[in-house]
Structure 1
Amino acid sequence: MTLPTPSSRDNNFKVYLGSTVLFLGMTLSLFVIGPLVLLAIVLPFRVRYRIAGLWVKWVLWLAKVCCGIGHRIEGLEHIDQNRTAIILSKHQSAWETIAYRDFLPMHSVLLKQSLLWLPLWGWAMATLKPIAIDRKNQRAALRKLLEKGTENLKSGLWVIIFPEGTRTAPGEVKKFNVGGAMLAQQSGYPVVPIAHNAGVCWPRYSFLKYPGTIKVKIGPPIESKGRKAAEINAEAEAWIAEAMKEM
């Protein structure tokens, strides 16, 4: 299916209806899954993660059925289940923050601390070992990323970082923050870059969702041992930029 462009989008009844059903399905289901994840705090982390994964599968199914949004993944062979790594990913929408939990290994996500204050979703997310930072205090945020990130990597969790720092519109390019690359340099774990165009179907800050097949491209691991953070960051940024052009 060809992805829509901003100029070709048709905000018809079907788009409004599908987006509404998706929103209601996502929100109402949180009243079931959220409490289950919270109650599972006494259980092993893997159990909580799998319970949260049920919500992810539900949302992706709703997106497919109600909004016609599917996805195609290239490069899954670069995901080594036996070797923990750091993901540096393009960030265009909320879609990737949900969908990555469906096809990537168990992971921890770098996110804004304020998101954990959101009822149910934030509370449940707080039990899933996120790296929650206060962006207003950049020095403390970097220190927490390096300490908590290294801890999670050593425990077998992948770490996902969106180095642009915020969601960007399709076609928009922002300079990568170096924090993720610094984590790679310090910890010695490799970086796996990911590019995607989810923002076309699931636009940032938009209630409406549009039909199409989201393309996800996973790049080969970038080794970090013996390399500077700036070099690691530049390689990941260049790979993602080139992959986005090919899309």
Structure 2
Amino acid sequence: MLVLRSLLFNLVFYVWTMLCCVGLLWMLFIPRRRMIDVLAWYMRTLAWLERTIIGLHYEVRGLEHLPAHGSFLVGAKHQSMWETMKLHLILDDPAIILKRELLWLPIWGWYAAKSQQIPVDRSRRGAALTPLVTGARAVVAQGRPIVIFPQGTRLAPGTYRPYKVGIGLLYQDLGLPIVPMALNSGLFWGRRTLIRHPGTITIEFLPPIPPGLPRDVAMAELEERLEAASERLSLAAGGPPTERPTTPRRIRLRTAAPARGQASA
């Protein structure tokens, strides 16, 4: 039954996505913000398909840790394609840092460019940091949140990879808080499989790391908190612990943020 439901979902998912990509081309000619509203509608239809066909739900914790106004950085774990499809439902018009090659995809790349995400040419390594900062400054001027995956790629639950310098550079240059975003989506929506598992994916926002700290301190705090929280969510759902190098005890920060409640779907 799991395989049949997964096959049915994938068929409906890709056919529906193709129809929407073609049928919504008119969005390229309307104001960007209006297009974002239509994009959120499309994402809601996908969430409905997940619940109806697979029995896959999700819950969001810690929304009270998101700043109520202005830009901020979200340092997010990245385990599957699933979370990229939910960011526009959870955050208000986020700018996601993504690899430049995605803009080359027919039609989908046009939507990504229109929505003003932040592309990065990873092949340029250090040289890619300058356009990253330039693009992020433009987003801050719009008052939008910025989402970055600190490890740079999707990783299966339990897998560790060192954090890259990009988020530390943005933290230092932009003077914004970092809100860590933990999750366990990879247990239900794997990277390299078409099998989709029923259950409830959890996304959890952690207390923000305030601006103004030394970059190394902020990066260490982000890694410790985010890895620990994601491991906790993984273990709670029957997933594996994270195998990572032993690190010294880090400085723990106590922060407060305006309440925004919690949401689930």
Calculate the TM-score normalised by the size of structure 2.
Answer: 0.83
Counterparts of 2:20 and 2:144, CA distance in 1: 22
The two structures, once aligned, show a CA RMSD in angstroms of 1.6
Q: CA deviation at 1:200?
A: 0.2
- Deviation per CA, 1:149-206: give whole Å up to 9, x if none: 1210221111110011111111111111120121111011111100000000001121
Q: CA deviation at 1:29?
A: 2.3
| 1:157 lines up with 2:141 in the alignment | no
Counterparts of 1:60 and 1:181, CA distance in 2: 32
Which residue of the other structure, out of 180, 193, 217, is the alignment partner of 2:167? 180
Counterparts of 2:135 and 2:23, CA distance in 1: 25
- Deviation per CA, 1:2-58: give whole Å up to 9, x if none: xxxxxxxxxxxx222222232222222233432465422332221011111112111
Which residue of the other structure, out of 73, 94, 114, is the alignment partner of 1:127? 114
| Aligned partner of residue 150 in structure 2, secondary structure | coil
Which residue of the other structure, out of 66, 82, 95, is the alignment partner of 1:95? 82
Counterparts of 2:71 and 2:65, CA distance in 1: 12
2:148 counterpart letter in structure 1: I
| Contact 2:70–2:144 (8 Å) recurs in 1 | no
- Deviation per CA, 1:35-85: give whole Å up to 9, x if none: 465422332221011111112111111111111111121101112231321
- Aligned pairs for 1:29-68 (under 5 A) are 29-35=16-22, 38-68=25-55
Unaligned runs of 5+ in 2: 234-265
Counterparts of 2:227 and 2:10, CA distance in 1: 31
Which residue of the other structure, out of 190, 201, 208, is the alignment partner of 1:203? 190
1:245 counterpart letter in structure 2: E
| 1:136 lines up with 2:127 in the alignment | no
Unaligned runs of 5+ in 1: 1-13
1:238 counterpart letter in structure 2: E
2:55 counterpart letter in structure 1: G
Counterparts of 1:246 and 1:171, CA distance in 2: 11
Map of 1:109 onto structure 2:
96
Counterparts of 2:116 and 2:12, CA distance in 1: 25
Counterparts of 1:75 and 1:167, CA distance in 2: 23
Counterparts of 1:205 and 1:27, CA distance in 2: 16
Counterparts of 2:38 and 2:4, CA distance in 1: 28
Instruction: Report % sequence identity.
Output: 31
Counterparts of 1:159 and 1:77, CA distance in 2: 17
- Aligned pairs for 1:235-246 (under 5 A) are 235-246=221-232
| Aligned partner of residue 92 in structure 1, secondary structure | coil
2:145 counterpart letter in structure 1: W
| Aligned partner of residue 122 in structure 2, secondary structure | coil
| Contact 2:184–2:202 (8 Å) recurs in 1 | yes
